[in-house]
Chain A
Amino acid sequence: MKKHVRLITLLLVLLLVLSALSGCAQKPAEPAKPADPGTPAETGTPAESGDTPAPEPSDDPLAGPAIDKDTVVICTADETPSLTTAGHNAVAGDYVNKLTHNGLFRLDKELNPTPDLVAEYTVEKDEKGEDSIWVMTLHEGVKFHDGSVMTTDDVLASIEHAQNSPDIRSYTQSIVKTEKVDDLTFKIYTDGPSASLLYDLSHHGNYIVPARQLAQETDPAKLDQLLNTEVIGAGPYKFVEWRKGEQITFTAHEDYFDAERAPKIKNIVWKIIPEGSSRTIALRAGDVDYIIETDSISIPELEADPNVAVMKVESVSHNWLTINNEVPPFDDINVRKAMNAAINKEDVVTVALNGTGVVAMSQTPTGMLGEYTGEYDAYDLDLAKKYMETWGGDPSTIKLEMICSNDTKARAAEVIMANLKEIGIESSIVRMDLATYLSVTAEGDFTGFIGGYTSNEMMSFLKGVYLSSNINSSNKTRTSEPELDELIIKATKTVDQGEREKVLQAATKFLNELCPQIPLYQDYTLSAHKANLKNTFITPGGSFFAQEWEW
């Protein structure tokens, strides 16, 4: 028996050693490749988005392509709920919509709206003398995937369809009515001057589908099913097949209207791989060519692989510790400012994001028109204590519960807990699944939570996060400041970009002084792909342009 015990012990030790070796096993790091413009030189340095410099072509099959030079295999964490344009508001769906459909406008690499299906447009004055009539003309001969030619009727029907869809109708709010001029020209009437219209028209919810299809069904549920199975757009790729939960395939639209942006790779296989580590393994094993969402923990391993290129771009996703401004003592500005100054955000970025992000100091994100980074307090424990003294209450009476809906947020909350203890505030972490978190936080039934908001432009961000009419939905700090509301509304009505920038900056300045929540970080958008894939690019909004890629 003793002999067996010894043998089993030996086997156990052997297994542990093998496991440890497998954990440490990593190929020696290759000499550093030329850095992507999108790659920060060091952790915490803001990155710029940009074209990836063409890496040296490699003969190694693991450098791509996974299938052949006519195909690129993209993998993503989440499956789109729908292939329709207006039947969802999911990021995973937006990626797919960008392949199959076009909008009247699109966001360029700097996130500015630029004409897409529209060839030219002018703004006319209404009877009040306001710039609210948008006259737009489509490119001639734009063809849908079924061969039919796009006309004004398709545009007007698509906008009407979007206005009736609960998922995305907020992106049509500024549109009062539409009017056909001729087969290629139409008018959009907005509720006064609108700075957000062109951004809204760039949203996938307003992408153009054939009017013929929209007229086929009157029942919204049946129409959704029809649009989800017969996917017809005018985008660079045509839908081929959807194997639910596994993959979607697309093939190039040969009659794509924009010759300069026509697809260079014929086929796209769009794979769904939910686990981050499995996506990394699939890329390194040669099964896929491009990972849209790369796990931050896999970055060192991928950067050391000569067959892989990693792209890091500072995203426009702004993350914070939200505190309920209606609940005492968080309604006191000194308490909020004390908490803000007491939290070491560098530590939060290191612990929560493995260093793949930048510290956020301002109440609004950087990297978009109207950014402003003044009037905030940096990490300063003495200053935090002074704010607490000014408040005059007993810090031990403050009870902060931080709701977290995922591991990243929970790691951030652990750092915050330790920091707040330094000024005598006791806090705790409450884990919730996403659906519960969304309900509880929208209803205001909380003291604090780790949250965030992603928007491609400042007006939507300010409206969503701070406009008082959005209390009980996306204004979760429950900020209600008439002066701020006025600034936000003014920005949405200011068409002149320079003027609008000033108004947006004034709004952020106001917010930084008010400190309704504690900004934490803006994470990086992390993507990785085979080294042989060229012309890749990601925007701060996380978008990419698959039709520009080539082997």
Chain B
Amino acid sequence: MWKYIAKRLLYMIPVLLGVTLIVYIIMSVAPGDPAKAILGDQATPDAIEQLREELGLDDPLLVQYGRYVKGLVRGDLGISYKSKGPVIDEIIARVPTTLYLSLSATIIAVVIAIPLGILAAVKQNTFIDGLSMFIALIGISIPIFWLGLLLLVYFAQELRWFPASGASSWKHFVLPGIALGFHSMASIARITRSSMLEVIRQDYIRTARSKGMPYKQVITKHALPNALIPTITVTGLQIGALLAGSVLTESVFSLPGIGRLIINSIQGRDIPVVLGCILVFTLTFSIINLLVDILYAFVDPRIRAQYF
């Protein structure tokens, strides 16, 4: 198992380098000069030239990328064009917020979605099934931005149960977690329902029931573990989607996370910060994929026997 994990971790290195190369090229060839973006409308040509020289933007693209990779190997993500501080400091200051947000959204999504999906499957074609899937439909359709504002108006402005902005306590993550998790909840609930429906029609379920096993036990002990594999896959993918969704959620709830940082940096053509954020996203997504694969083995003994 450890060999498998080590191998997967090594595979991440070319992935990370490939991603940085692609993003570097895209950012460099995209229209918009970082020096002009920093100095703004009122900059003189002399000042723009001086800043380009200071930032090393006059060097050939390969030289610039080579310099970046050389720093990366030493653990140096470079200096932000805009703040002129180390990129690593900018990212470290913001990673916890995005992690808390993604974690709270995932917890909210999973805790609601799995029971909802199971309930909809075991009560197929009833009012409960209709209601569950109606909630899921709303979750998929509702824009995160709009839901976020609605939650803010009711629960922060009118009821004053939660703060409207900031990130200094668990209370600050409840509303953003709901806004962000609601969309994922819908996808997870739908996949849980369909995979449960498939499993409960299997012969071994019928056998268990015919042997007189209580229905609840049949569902929790026999059906659920087998139905969970697709749910885990979708949950893993959803965590990736949560990272993307965090951009909007962080803006609405004024959370100082990576999502807001990357958007501001793209707009300001702050290439080192964009690359640093992309590295964090790529690394997170790769690690989540690895964890999902490991989790399969815990849920399904056949996979455990085959790969570990």
Residues of A at the B interface (CB closer than 8 Å) are 1, 4, 7-8, 11, 15, 22, 75, 79, 81-82, 84, 87-90, 166-167, 169-170, 220-221, 224-225, 228, 243-247, 271-275, 277-278, 281-282, 284-288, 433-436, 438-440, 442, 451, 453, 464, 470, 472-474
| CB <8 Å contact, A247 and B267 | no
Scoring B residues 134 to 164 as 1 if CB is less than 8 Å from chain A, else 0, what string do you get?
Answer: 1000100000000001101110110010011
Q: On chain B, which size bracket covers the interface? A: 35 or more
**Residue of A11, A281, A286 ringed by the most chain B CB atoms within 10 A:** A281
Task: Report B-chain residues with C-beta under 8 Å of the C-beta of A22.
Answer: 150, 153-154
Interface residues of B in 21-52 (CB under 8 A from A): 30-34, 36-45, 47-48, 50-51
Contact B42 A275 (CB under 8 A): no
| Contact yes or no, B37 A435, CB < 8 A | yes
Report the separation of the CA atoms of residues A464 and B134 in the bound assembly, to the nearest whole angstrom: 58
Chain B, residue nearest A83 (CB): B83
Contact of A287 among B36, B82, B153, B164 (CB under 8 A): B164
A470 touches B44 (CB 8 A): yes
B267, A435: Cβ atoms closer than 8 Å: yes
Alpha-carbon gap, A269 to B166, bound state (A): 12
| B47 and A167 within 8 A (CB) | yes
Could you tell me the distance in whole angstroms from the C-beta of B262 to the nearest C-beta in chain A? Answer: 12
With A4-B127, A434-B267, A473-B48 as known contacts, state yes or no: A81 contacts B93, CB within 8 Å. Answer: no
Q: Which one, B41, B127, B149, contacts A453 given CB within 8 A?
A: B41
Docked complex Cα distance between A438 and B33 (Å): 8
With a cutoff of 8 Å between Cβ atoms, the chain A residues found around residue B48 in the complex are 166, 473
| Closest 5 pairs between A and B when the two form their complex, measured CB to CB | A245-B256, A435-B32, A244-B93, A435-B37, A246-B256
User: Is the Cβ of B85 less than 8 Å from the Cβ of A438?
Assistant: no
CB distance from B287 to the nearest CB of A (A): 23
A4 to B130, CA, bound (A): 7
Given contacts A245-B93, A245-B257, contact A435 B268 (CB under 8 A): yes
Nearest A residue (CB) for B86: A225
Contact of A228 with B85 in the complex, beta carbons under 8 Å: yes
State in angstroms the CA–CA spacing of A25 and B85 once bound together.
Answer: 45
Query: In the bound complex, what is the Cα–Cα distance between A442 and B35 (angstroms)?
Result: 12
Within 8 A of A (CB), among B52-88: 54, 79, 82-86
Known: A220-B54, A244-B93, A244-B94. A435 touches B254 (CB 8 A): no
Give chain A residues whose Cβ lies under 8 Å from the Cβ of B168: 246
Contacts of B264 in A (CB 8 A): 79
Given contacts A281-B164, A433-B267, A442-B36, contact A244 B41 (CB under 8 A): no
Contact of B36 among A285, A439, A470 (CB under 8 A): A439
Query: Is A167's CB under 8 angstroms from B38's CB?
Result: yes
Residues of chain B with a CB closer than 8 A to A89's CB: 39-40, 42-43
Listed A/B pairs (11) with beta-carbon separation below 8 Å: A4-B127, A89-B42, A166-B47, A243-B93, A274-B251, A278-B251, A278-B254, A288-B165, A434-B37, A438-B36, A451-B41
Chain B positions within 8 Å of A, measured between CB atoms, are: 30-34, 36-45, 47-48, 50-51, 54, 79, 82-86, 89-90, 93-94, 97, 125, 127, 130-131, 134, 138, 149-150, 152-154, 156-157, 160, 163-168, 251-257, 260-261, 264, 266-269
Complex partner residue of B165 from A243, A282, A440, A451, CB under 8 angstroms:
A282
Given A166-B50, A464-B42, output 9 extra A-B contacts at Cβ < 8 Å: A8-B130, A81-B38, A167-B38, A281-B153, A281-B157, A435-B31, A453-B42, A470-B44, A473-B48
A275 touches B254 (CB 8 A): yes
Q: Which of A271, A453, A472 contacts B45 (CB 8 A)?
A: A472
Q: A271-B165, A281-B157 given as contacts; is B130 within 8 A of A436 (CB)?
A: no
Closest CB-CB distance, B23 to chain A, in whole Å? 16
Enumerate chain A residues within 8 angstroms of B130, measured Cβ to Cβ.
4, 7-8
User: With A75-B165, A281-B153 in contact, do A82 and B83 touch (Cβ < 8 Å)?
Assistant: yes
Q: Are B84 and A228 in contact (CB under 8 A)?
A: yes
* A274 contacts B41, C-beta separation under 8 Å: no
B266 proximity list for chain A (CB < 8 A): 433
Residues in B with CB closer than 8 Å to A170 are 42-44, 47
In Å, the complex CA distance between A243 and B150 comes to 27
In the assembled complex, which residues on chain A have CB atoms less than 8 Å from the CB atom of B156? 281-282, 285, 287
Residue of B nearest to A220 (CB): B54
Given contacts A7-B130, A287-B165, contact A271 B256 (CB under 8 A): no
Cα–Cα distance between A228 and B89 once the two chains are bound (Å): 13
Question: Closest Cβ of chain B: how far from A51's Cβ, in Å?
Answer: 29
Chain A residues positioned under 8 Å from B134 (CB to CB): 8, 11
Chain B residues near A244 (CB, 8 Å)?
89-90, 93-94, 256
Cβ of A11: which chain B residues have Cβ within 8 Å of it? 131, 134
Question: How far, in angstroms, from A84 to B84 measured CA to CA in the complex?
Answer: 10
Measured between beta carbons, the chain B residues less than 8 angstroms from A245 are 93-94, 97, 255-257, 260-261
Q: Does A15 contact B138, Cβ atoms closer than 8 Å?
A: yes
User: Smallest distance from the beta carbon of A181 to chain B beta carbons, Å?
Assistant: 31
Given contacts A15-B138, A244-B90, whether A81 and B47 have CB atoms under 8 Å apart is: no
Most A C-beta atoms less than 10 A away, residue of B41, B44, B48, B269 = B41
* Closest Cβ neighbor of A271 among chain B residues: B165
Q: Closest B residue to A472 by CB, please name it.
A: B45
Q: How far is the CA of A166 from the CA of B266 in the complex (A)?
A: 22
Our pick among B31, B82, B261 for the contact of A440 (Cβ within 8 Å) is: B31
* Beta-carbon nearest neighbor of B129 in chain A: A4
Knowing A271-B254, A285-B157, A287-B165, the reply to whether A438 touches B152 (Cβ < 8 A) is no
Chain B residue at smallest Cβ distance from A223: B84
**A81 adjacent to B83 (CB under 8 Å):** yes
* Minimum distance in angstroms from B266 CB to a CB of chain A: 8
Max count, chain B CB within 10 A of own CB: residue among A89, A272, A473 = A473
Q: Given the complex of chains A and B, what is the CA–CA distance between A1 and B156 in angstroms?
A: 39
Interface contact B254-A87, CB-CB below 8 Å: no
Judging by beta carbons under 8 Å apart, are A224 and B267 in contact? no
Cβ-defined contact, B40 with A225, below 8 A: no
Q: Which of B50, B89, B152, B166 contacts A281 (CB 8 A)?
A: B152
Q: Within 8 Å CB of A84, what residues of B?
A: 84
Residues of chain A within 8 A (CB-CB) of B157 are 281, 284-285
* Shortest Cβ gap from A1 to chain B (Å): 8
Shortest beta-carbon distance from B20 to chain A in Å: 20
Query: Pick the contact of A435 from B33, B153, B160 — CB < 8 Å?
Result: B33
Which residue of chain A is the closest to B137 with respect to CB atoms? A8
Q: Give every chain B residue within 8 A of A90 (Cβ-Cβ).
A: 40
Give the docked Cα–Cα distance between A22 and B31 (Å).
42
Which of these, B51, B125, B164, contacts A278 with CB under 8 Å? B164
Identify which of A82, A88, A274, A473 contacts B43 (C-beta below 8 A): A473
Task: Return B72 CB to nearest CB of chain A, in Å.
Answer: 18
User: Given A434-B267, A439-B32, does the pair A82, B84 have CB atoms closer than 8 Å?
Assistant: yes
Give the nearest-CB partner of B37 in chain A: A435
- Shortest A405–chain B CB gap in Å is 10
Given A225-B85, A244-B90, A472-B45, A286 and B36 contact (CB-CB distance below 8 Å): no
* Contact B84–A166 (Cβ < 8 Å): no
Q: Is the CB of B164 within 8 A of A285?
A: yes
Instruction: Knowing A282-B164, A285-B164, say if A474 contacts B42 (CB, 8 Å).
Output: yes
Smallest CB-CB separation from A452: which chain B residue?
A: B41
CA distance A438 to B39 in the complex (A): 10
Across the interface, A247 reaches (CB within 8 A) one of B42, B97, B166, namely: B166
Kindly state the separation between the CA atoms of A453 and B42 in the bound complex, as whole angstroms: 8
Q: In the complex, which residues of chain B have a beta carbon less than 8 angstroms from the beta carbon of A273?
A: 165, 254
Decide: B90 and A473 in contact? CB cutoff 8 A: no
Contact B256 A243 (CB under 8 A): yes
Which residues in B have their C-beta under 8 angstroms from that of A8?
130, 134
